[in-house]
Amino acid sequence: MRREVPLLITAIVGLTLIVVYFVPHPPFSDLRDLFSDWFGVIAAFAIYLGILSLLKINVDKVYRKKSGWGFSIVTIMGFLLFVSVGLYEGSDFGEYGTSYYYLYDRIYYPLMATMFAILAFFIGSASYRAFRARNLEATVLLLAAFFVMLGRVPIGYYLTSWLPEGFRMGSLADWIMDYPQTAGQRAVMIGIALGIVSTSLRVILGIERTFLGGE
């Protein structure tokens, strides 16, 4: 029963959502709304599950003095600080001038911005070490990157503004983005979509059962 009931729920919900795509009328549309509401409740509970998981892993790491346990203390303290301040301030927690707003503005924002900004340095370093014209494919990729990177910023315009419209760096970058790039993306997206359809059908029909866990 522990496996059959979840499989049955998955099959009923999955098949109903497929049917409602083609027949968006009652009773199927009502069922879609009902399942969506249930999903919202489950998603909200998943947040608590995430919190418990975060605390369990980090408390365990500190307790056992595993490598990097000091960072876990920072994580736990940060979590407790944000949650307690947020709960204390109630529904106005995000308003300008509140303590939560201060924490968000002075701690969370700079930390997140720093994480993202580090990318710029790694891109610079990687472009120097790895972006080599080793063969034809790599050369094509390199040339595309060259034109798009310069064409997407005003410097590209200044370098080629003397050329007629359509031959400037910006136009070339637009062409690369609109045609070869889009064609490549489309192929990848179609491949992913087919994979999703096949996996979804396997899950709905009960062939794929790894999501149930266990053996």
Partner 1 sequence: MGFFERLLKIDRRIIFTLIGIAIALPLFFNVSMFVETTPVVKGVYEVVESLPEGSKVLVSFDYDPGSMPELQPMAESFFRHCFSRNLKVIIMGLWPQGPLQANWALDVILNEPDIKAKNLRYGVNYVNLGYTAGNEVVILRMGSNIHAAFPADYYGTPLDDLPIMKGIRNFNNIDFVYNLSAGYPGTMEWVQFAADRFHAVLGAGNTAVQAPLMYPYANTGQLVGILGGMKGAAEYEVLADRPARGVRYMFSQGIAHAVVIFFVILGNVAYFATG
Which positions touch partner 1 (CB under 8 A)?
21, 29, 32-33, 36-37, 39-40, 43-44, 46-47, 91-92, 94-96, 101, 104, 108-109, 112-113, 115-117, 120-121, 123-125, 127-129, 131-133, 142, 145-146, 149-150, 152-155, 157-158, 170, 174, 177-178, 181-182, 185-186, 189
Residue 62 beta carbon to partner 1: minimum distance, rounded to whole angstroms? 26
Give the DSSP per-residue string, the chain: -TTHHHHHHHHHHHHHHHHHHH--STTHHHHHHHHHHHHHHHHHHHHHHHHHHHHHHHHHHHHTT-TTHHHHHHHHHHHHHHHHHHHHHGGGTTSTTSHHHHHIIIIIHHHHHHHHHHHHHHHHHHHHHH----SHHHHHHHHHHHHHHHHTSHHHHHHHTTSPTTSSHHHHHHHHIIIIIHHHHHHHHHHHHHHHHHHHHHHHTTS--GGG---
Q: Which CB atom, from 69 or from 101, has the smaller least distance to partner 1?
A: 101
Taking the least distance from each CB to partner 1, the nearer of 60 and 105 is 105
Which of 177, 212 has the CB closer to partner 1?
Answer: 177
Q: Which of 37, 60 has the CB closer to partner 1?
A: 37
| Closest CB 119 distance from partner 1, rounded Å | 9
CB of 27 to partner 1, least distance (A): 13
Q: Which is nearer to partner 1, 112 or 140 (CB)?
A: 112
